[in-house]
Amino acid sequence: MGQLIFRFLVGGLIVSFFAALGDVLKPKSFAGLFGAAPSVGLATLALTSISDGKMYAALEARSMAAAAASFLIYACLCSRLLMRWQWHAAKTTIMALTVWFAVSSALWFAFLK
Amino acid sequence: MLVSLNPSALRQTRWYEYAVRFFFGGAVTVVAGLIAKKYGPTLGGLFLAFPAIFPASATLVEKHEREKKKKAGIFKTRRGRQAAALDAYGAALGAIGLLGFGLIVWMANPRLDSILVLTLATCAWAAVSVFLWRLRKTPFWP
């Protein structure tokens, strides 16, 4: 339980740090880079390397690279829908998460399972 | 366009908006760990690149831009969504950097010190993302 709380705090802090960096930077397209910062990855891989070993963390990182490809497709789709179709940001970004799940699952089944 | 820092933008964000991002960040970190424990690191690792706070950030960008226009007396505007679209475009470039981050940790972590690997991978993420942004500052959508 203690380790979970520690993970929660470390994850929350690193994510908030990158999000705040994105808030203060201009222009918007540059600030957007921080929306795909390795915040959850940093927190998890550092803690996992200590608790479960470096090989275990490396396997997580390999899956993370595959999921980053899904993130790329997800973000391109969001940008396209917002710019061309003028959908609301909340609706667009939440609905498009299904695409992230679909692509990530497909990559996992095809290459990582 | 030059990159600039605007610290006063931090005051635009309300305390509960920071709390939401902290909560989602912490929650995804915990969930990724739990899934890895139960189903193995290859499945849990996927959630390290889950767009955890992106929906909240894009929504905030849209909201702040809309409020700015409202203060200027403009009530019907597309500006908020366009700003959110640019934010998403930046995230797409950052995701390519994130892919590089994952590959570096995958290949180097078993051989080198983890702190060094994570530091190098973070620098690589920043370098790739900024390079791509400089290369292509405008979205490629027709």
- Does residue A71 sit in the same domain as residue A104? yes
- Does residue A45 sit in the same domain as residue A1? yes
Q: For residue B114, give the nearest of B123, B105, B102 by alpha carbon.
A: B105
pLDDT band at B14 (very low <50, low <70, confident <90, very high): confident
Distance from CA of B70 to the nearest CA of A (A): 17
- Does residue A97 sit in the same domain as residue A70? yes
Tell me the DSSP string of B51-77: -SSHHHHHHHHHHHHHHHHHHTT--S-
Is the pLDDT at B76 greater than 80, yes or no? no
- Does residue A42 sit in the same domain as residue A74? no
Is the pLDDT at B1 greater than 70, yes or no? no
Q: Which residue from B minimizes the CA distance to A97?
A: B51
Q: Which of residues 16-35 of B touch A (CB under 8 A)?
A: 18, 21-30, 32-34
Tell me the DSSP string of chain A: -HHHHHHHHHHHHHHHHHHHHHHHEESHHHHGGGGG-SHHHHHHHHHHHHHT-HHHHHHHHHHHHHHHHHHHHHHHHHHHIIIII---HHHHHHHTHHHHHHHHHHHIIIII-
**A24: domain range?**
1-51
Residue A64 CB contacts under 8 Å (≥ 6 apart), including other chains: A41, A45, B45, B46, B48, B49, B98, B101, B102, B105
Q: What is the DSSP code (8-state) at residue B140?
A: -
Contact A67 B47 (CB under 8 A): yes
- Does residue A1 sit in the same domain as residue A46? yes
Radius of gyration of chain A (CA): 16
Quote the number of domains for chain A: 2
Domain annotation covers residue A28? yes
Given this model, what pLDDT does residue B11 score? 82
Given this model, what pLDDT does residue B96 score? 97
Q: For residue B98, give the nearest of A73, A64, A53, A75 by alpha carbon.
A: A64
Domain annotation covers residue A91? yes
* pLDDT tens per residue, range A53-99: 999 999 999 999 999 999 999 999 999 999 888 788 999 999 999 99
Contact B29 A27 (CB under 8 A): no
- Does residue A34 sit in the same domain as residue A70? no
Domain annotation covers residue A58? no
Domain annotation covers residue A59? no
- Does residue A40 sit in the same domain as residue A10? yes
ipTM of predicted complex: 0.95
pLDDT band at B139 (very low <50, low <70, confident <90, very high): low
Given this model, what pLDDT does residue B101 score? 98
Domain annotation covers residue A60? no
> Whole-model pTM?
0.93
